[in-house]
Each structure stands twice: as structure tokens, then as C-alpha cells.
């Protein structure tokens, strides 16, 4: 039968417009109309003992649902509440850290006796803790007239540095970092900053630590 354009036009007009309608199979761009609709597995849904829908259930049952779709549903209000609470906790935490930092910065550093000169002969070092019990430091005496002290924690990843008086360096064995023994300056390897310097005071033969100076260069 010859192709009648008028008849084809009538046929097309009669085609059901819904994408999953019979007769549209195989046409470009067709898909089931409910393809993106959430599926609810009947096994996941629990009906309350009284049989009434969830919207009519008491608040406690709505707050603690026992079927999966209801349990996984997050209301916009709940999400907003969660975001506000977590952001608030984050801000409070940051404020607490900043306050602690300010308090510590304003507190005068302690004055602590480190050693007597007799305890640190030339070419030796003495370990001590300053300003806190967990802050290991080294008192170094490279010659009779020089006393210096630095934090013992490497500025790379905090391994303990050890003195090498012959080489004039403090060596970090973890990744081969090197610092100048007399100045604490980083001279080789991964350490990015000099060692914090412990300020010393000599009273008679007694050596005191009186502060710590963190340095960037």
C-alpha cells in the first residue's frame, strides 16, 4: 500500500504521549515514566500494630521508625539542625583553642634551674624538660664560653635530635635532618625551620631556662 502522508500524520497524533506507552518501544529517548521513582520494597516497610499510617502515629513512633524508608528519611529541618549543631561545635572548639593559646601566651614563662656548669663539661650536652614535662630540650656546651639550649624536637616530624659536637651539628636520625649546633638553624634535610631556642640565664654557676623563642628563619 503506498505511503499516505495524511494517514501517517493521523497515526502519530494517535500515539500515546506517555513515554512508556505501548507503541513507543524502541523510540529514541523513551524510558519508563517511573524509572526515577524511589522503589519501596514491601519487606522493608513495617506496618504499625494499630494499622494506622505513619503520619497518624504517636510522636515517639515517628521519631524512632522501624521501617527502612522511614528510618533513612532525613527531613530538611533535621539536616539544618545537624549542620547548625556541627558548625556551632566547630566554632566553639576553635574559640576554645584560641582562648587557650591567648592565656598561654600571656602567662610568663617559668624560670627553671637546668644544671650547674659542672654538670655540663665542654663538648657535652644535658637533656632537660622545658617549659612542660613533655618538652624535651638539650643544653649544649660546645666550648668553655658558650652555652646554648634548644628544643630537642625536630621541626620536621618531631623526632629527637642528637648532638654531634665534632661535626658542629644537631642530627635528626629519622630523615637525615641537620641543624647548626650553636644556632639551631636548619641547614640540611627536610626540617623547615630552626629549632626553638631556650633562653638561658647564668646565675653564678647555675644555668636557668627562662623562656622559649620559636623561630621561622
> Of 88 and 173, which CB lies nearer to ligand FES in the complex structure?
173
**Bridging pattern class, strands 169-172 and 177-180:** antiparallel
Site string for ligand FES, 97-126 (x = CB under 6 A): ------------------------------
Binder among 48, 54, 174, 212 for ligand FES (CB under 6 A): 174
Nearer to ligand FES, 147 or 187 (CB): 187
**Cα Rg of the chain, angstroms:** 38
CA-based nearest residue to 139, from 163, 164, 173, 167 = 163
C-alpha cell at 15: 500515539
The nearer residue to ligand FES, 57 or 183, going by C-beta atoms, is: 183
Asked if 180 touches ligand FES (CB under 6 A), the answer is no
At closest approach, how far in Å is the CB of 172 from ligand FES?
A: 3
Residue 85 to residue 22: CA distance in whole angstroms: 52
CA 137/CA 159 separation, integer angstroms: 12
Supply angle C-alpha 129, 140, 105, rounded to 5: 40
Peptide bond into 131 cis (omega under 30): yes
Question: Which residue among 83, 92, 127, 157 contacts ligand FES (CB under 6 A)?
Answer: 157
Among 125, 140, 150, 177, indicate the residue that binds ligand FES (CB under 6 A): 177
- In this complex, which beta carbon is closest to ligand FES, that of residue 115 or of residue 151? 151
Amino acid at each position: 500500500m503506498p505511503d499516505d502522508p495524511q494517514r501517517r500524520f493521523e497515526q502519530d497524533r494517535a500515539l500515546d504521549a506517555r513515554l512508556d506507552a505501548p507503541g513507543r518501544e524502541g523510540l529514541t529517548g523513551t524510558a519508563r515514566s517511573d524509572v526515577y521513582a524511589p522503589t519501596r520494597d514491601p519487606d522493608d516497610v513495617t506496618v504499625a500494630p494499630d494499622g494506622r499510617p505513619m503520619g497518624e502515629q504517636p510522636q515517639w513512633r515517628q521519631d524512632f521508625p522501624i521501617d527502612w524508608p522511614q528510618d533513612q528519611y532525613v527531613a530538611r529541618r533535621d539536616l539544618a539542625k545537624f549542620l547548625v549543631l556541627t558548625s556551632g561545635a566547630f566554632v566553639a572548639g576553635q574559640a576554645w583553642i584560641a582562648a587557650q593559646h591567648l592565656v598561654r601566651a600571656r602567662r610568663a614563662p617559668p624560670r627553671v634551674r637546668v644544671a650547674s656548669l659542672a654538670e655540663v663539661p665542654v663538648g657535652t650536652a644535658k637533656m632537660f624538660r622545658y617549659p612542660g614535662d613533655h618538652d624535651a630540650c638539650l643544653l649544649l656546651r660546645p666550648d668553655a664560653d658558650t652555652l646554648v639550649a634548644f628544643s630537642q624536637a625536630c621541626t620536621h616530624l618531631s623526632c629527637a635530635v642528637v648532638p654531634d659536637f665534632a661535626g658542629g651539628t644537631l642530627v635528626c636520625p629519622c630523615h637525615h635532618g641537620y641543624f647548626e649546633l650553636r644556632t639551631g638553624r636548619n641547614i640540611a634535610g627536610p626540617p623547615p625551620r630552626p629549632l626553638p631556642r631556650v633562653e638561658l640565664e647564668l646565675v653564678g654557676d647555675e644555668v636557668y631556662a627562662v623562656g622559649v623563642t620559636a623561630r621561622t628563619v
